[in-house]
Amino acid sequence: MDTKTKEQIRKQFGEYLQRHRENVLKIKSVRELSFTSNIDNSKLSKIEKGQVNFGFDNLLEIALAYKLTTKEILGFSIKSLKDQED
């Protein structure tokens, strides 16, 4: 997969997270979301803009911050996190 395609996918993922934050969580700013997550607002902002490539561990933190189940973000449930998602 070329770099441009990866950047486009990151941007689409960031737009998905932003819509979820605004429409589902009813949180207007990444700053407000950062208060309840383990990710600082600067990084959350870059993720929503598709400007940062992050690792799997960050993806799990993103799922928790945006109150997405692992199934919603990964396509399958992780048994050790199932209790946190209920």
CATH code at position 73: 1.10.260.40
Q: Which domain holds residue 67?
A: 3-85
pLDDT at 75: 80
pLDDT at 41: 93
pLDDT at 81: 53
Report how far residue 54's alpha carbon sits from residue 14's, in angstroms, rounded to the nearest whole number.
12
Token couple for 21: 């934050």
Of the two residues 78 and 23, the one the predictor is more confident about is 23
Give the 3-state DSSP-derived string for the chain, with helices as H, strands as E and coil as C.
Answer: CCHHHHHHHHHHHHHHHHHHHHHHCCCCCHHHHHCCCCCCHHHHHHHHCCCCCCCHHHHHHHHHHCCCCHHHHHCCCCHHHHHHHC
Q: Which of 25, 83, 18 is nearest to 50 (CA)?
A: 18
Contact 65, 33 (CB under 8 A): yes
Residue 68's pLDDT band (cuts 50, 70, 90): very high
Residue 26's pLDDT band (cuts 50, 70, 90): very high
Look at the chain and report how many structural domains it folds into: 1
pLDDT at 80: 62
Report how far residue 32's alpha carbon sits from residue 68's, in angstroms, rounded to the nearest whole number.
17
